[in-house]
C-alpha cells in the first residue's frame, strides 16, 4: 500500500514538472474508460475520442494543480462529462437552426445570381435585418447573430417565451419574402454566419 502511494506521489510530482512520461502513463490508464464513458453520452465514437483528447489537454494545462491520483481521475471524468454535454447542446442548437432555415428555403429555387458579389449579398442581407421592426429586429439579432436561446432572450427582454418564438418567425417571414425577390434566399444561412463574424469580432 505504501509503495503504491509512493509511486502515485512520484507520478503527480513528475506530471507537475511537465514530464511527458507521467502524462503518457495517465493517458494509458484512463483513455479507454473515458472514451467509453463519452461515447455512452454522445453516441458518436469519433466525437467521443476528440472530446476525451480535449479533456487530457485541459489536464496538461492544469498539471500542477493536483494532489492525488483520485483528483486527476475525477477531473478527467468531470471535464469529459461537461465537454459531452456542451457538445450535445451545440448539436441540438444546430439542429433547431437547420429546421428554422429549412422553413425559409421551402419551395425556393436553389440558385442565386452569380453576378452578385459576396459583399453585395452580405450588405443586402444586413440591410434587410436592419429594416425589420424594432423588437423583431432585436430578437432576430440576439438569436441568429449572438446565438442566444429563446429563454435567454425572453429573460433579457422581459417578455414571454412564446413572444420570442412569434417574433423570430415574423422576422424570418419578412426576410424570406424580400430575399425571394432577389434570388439570394438559399444562401441565407451562409451569409448570416458571415455577418455574425464580421460584426461581432
Residue range 14-50, pLDDT digits in tens? 888 888 888 898 898 889 888 888 888 888 888 889 8
Contacts of 180 (CB under 8 A, 6+ apart): 108
Q: How many CA atoms lie within 13 A of 110 on its CB side?
A: 1
For 100, list phi and psi in degrees, rounded to 5: -65, -40
Please report, for residues 81, 82, 139, 144, the alpha-carbon distance to residue 48 in angstroms, rounded to integers and kept in the order given: 10, 12, 34, 28
Residue range 66-124, pLDDT digits in tens? 888 888 888 898 899 888 888 888 777 666 655 555 555 444 444 444 445 555 666 77
Amino acid at each position: 500500500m505504501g509503495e503504491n502511494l509512493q509511486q502515485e506521489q512520484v507520478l503527480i510530482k513528475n506530471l507537475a514538472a511537465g514530464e511527458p512520461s507521467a502524462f503518457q502513463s495517465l493517458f494509458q490508464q484512463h483513455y479507454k474508460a473515458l472514451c467509453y464513458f463519452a461515447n455512452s453520452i454522445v453516441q458518436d465514437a469519433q466525437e467521443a475520442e476528440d472530446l476525451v483528447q480535449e479533456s487530457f489537454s485541459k489536464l496538461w494545462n492544469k498539471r500542477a494543480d493536483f494532489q492525488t491520483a483520485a483528483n486527476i481521475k475525477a477531473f478527467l471524468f468531470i471535464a469529459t462529462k461537461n465537454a459531452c454535454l456542451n457538445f450535445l447542446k451545440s448539436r441540438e442548437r444546430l439542429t433547431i437552426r437547420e429546421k428554422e432555415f429549412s422553413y425559409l428555403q421551402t419551395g425556393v429555387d436553389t440558385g442565386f445570381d452569380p453576378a452578385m458579389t459576396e459583399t453585395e449579398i452580405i450588405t443586402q442581407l444586413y440591410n434587410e435585418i436592419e429594416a425589420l421592426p424594432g423588437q423583431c429586429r432585436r430578437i432576430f439579432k440576439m438569436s441568429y447573430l449572438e446565438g442566444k436561446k429563446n429563454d435567454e432572450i425572453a429573460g433579457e427582454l422581459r417578455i414571454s417565451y412564446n413572444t420570442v418564438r412569434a417574433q423570430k418567425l415574423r422576422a424570418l417571414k419578412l426576410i424570406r419574402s424580400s430575399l425571394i425577390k432577389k434570388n439570394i434566399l438559399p444562401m441565407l444561412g451562409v451569409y448570416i454566419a458571415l455577418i455574425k463574424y464580421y460584426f461581432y469580432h
